[in-house]
Amino acid sequence: MANSPIRTTRLPSGQAVPVLGQGTWHMAEDQSKRSHEIAALRLGLDLGMTLVDTAEMYTNGAAEELVGEAIKGRRDEVFLVSKVLPNNAGRRQAVAACERSLRRLGTDRLDLYLLHWRGRVPLSETLEAFEELVKTGKIRAWGVSNFDVADMEELESLPGGKAAATNQVLYNLTRRGIEFDLLPWCDRRKIPIMAYSPIEQGDLAGHSALQSVAARHNATPVQVALAWALRRDTIIAIPKAGTVEHVRENRAALDLNLTDEDLAALDRAFPPPARRRPLEMI
């Protein structure tokens, strides 16, 4: 079990959050796995992975209910993140959606509430809802997910739009497009990127380049993929782990220090972007 403290990064508000959290996409889909998933989330909290990310969309709210059960009695330890669907992002609808999420999670507040992706509702209307939720104490901060540079620029131009705490996007070795423009844009504004699917839903584990690097460090390819994503101070990775063994594997990635040789080998296998690419989503 890793013993080193978890490194943190800061949101624009100054709030420190762990750079390695826990995702819950695809959790609560199989009742037979429920006890294992709850045990995994609780172990993650024990190991300092106290940022837990979920969404009303995940298993139609069942993932939020599972998280609520996992954090019961430990709410104050957790930096809790959830997301609102675009079709629920209207002025009144977003407030109601947040209240439903709070009930499922068994809490009176979210630490961070994200717009899951852009839809037809004007961003200005969603911001009004977020501001109301902040004022009433139902959320502490808000942010966005799956926003490209043009979306972020539009957001920034709106009243209150500069208060965005994060942008949660797809980012891993096979999805490096954000390094060309979105990541530098956010870095300049000290907005951390929250990376979902940092292991490409497990697919990276079988890649020979990661296996070679892992062998040099007596590590696993999963740990190499996570260590690579976390090499930047402004990245928060939120891998899902449905078993305690996987949680321990993810946590140990923070103790893996990739060398310049390792990073060069990974760049050869997964070249960084040489031009702008459209934002990718899963």
Q: Tell whether the model's pLDDT for residue 34 goes beyond 60.
A: yes
Instruction: Let me know if residue 282 belongs to a domain.
Output: no
Instruction: Let me know if residue 8 belongs to a domain.
Output: no
How far is the first Cα of the chain from the last one, in angstroms, to the nearest whole number?
Answer: 32
Question: In the predicted model, what is the mean pLDDT of residues 184-200?
Answer: 97
* pLDDT at residue 67 in the model: 98
Class of residue 205 by CB neighbours under 10 A (exposed 0-12, middle 13-18, buried 19+): middle
pLDDT in tens, 120-147: 999 999 999 999 999 999 999 999 999 9
Q: Tell whether the model's pLDDT for residue 24 goes beyond 90.
A: yes
- DSSP 3-state percent helix, strand, coil across the chain (nearest 5): 50, 15, 40
Q: Tell whether the model's pLDDT for residue 264 goes beyond 60.
A: yes
Instruction: Let me know if residue 22 belongs to a domain.
Output: yes
- The pLDDT-based confidence of 3 (bands split at 50, 70, 90) is low
* pLDDT at residue 282 in the model: 86
Q: What is the mean pLDDT of the chain?
A: 97
CATH of the domain at 51: 3.20.20.100
Instruction: Let me know if residue 248 belongs to a domain.
Output: yes
- For CA atoms 213, 214, 215, 219, the dihedral sign is positive
Active site residues: 58
Q: Tell whether the model's pLDDT for residue 58 goes beyond 60.
A: yes
* pLDDT at residue 265 in the model: 98
Q: Tell whether the model's pLDDT for residue 1 goes beyond 70.
A: no
| Secondary element (H or E) of residue 84 | strand 79-84
Range of the domain at 241: 16-269
* pLDDT at residue 5 in the model: 85
Question: In the predicted model, what is the mean pLDDT of residues 84-110?
Answer: 98
Give 116-136 as a DSSP string.
Answer: -S--SS-HHHHHHHHHHHHHT
Class of residue 278 by CB neighbours under 10 A (exposed 0-12, middle 13-18, buried 19+): exposed
pLDDT in tens, 207-253: 999 999 999 999 999 999 999 999 999 999 999 999 999 999 999 99
Domain count, the chain: 1
Instruction: Let me know if residue 134 belongs to a domain.
Output: yes
Instruction: Let me know if residue 4 belongs to a domain.
Output: no
Residue type, 254: L
Task: List strands edge to edge, sheet with 142-145.
Answer: 22-23, 51-53, 79-84, 112-115, 142-145, 167-170, 193-196, 235-237
* pLDDT at residue 246 in the model: 97
Question: In the predicted model, what is the mean pLDDT of residues 7-28?
Answer: 97
Instruction: Let me know if residue 6 belongs to a domain.
Output: no
User: Which of 195, 244, 241 shows the shortest CA–CA distance to 222?
Assistant: 241
Instruction: Let me know if residue 7 belongs to a domain.
Output: no
Question: In the predicted model, what is the mean pLDDT of residues 271-279?
Answer: 96
Overall pTM > 0.95:
yes
* pLDDT at residue 250 in the model: 97
**CA 137 centroid distance within chain:** 22
* pLDDT at residue 201 in the model: 87
User: Which of 173, 152, 156, 277 shows the shortest CA–CA distance to 225?
Assistant: 173
Question: In the predicted model, what is the mean pLDDT of residues 59-79?
Answer: 98
* pLDDT at residue 202 in the model: 84
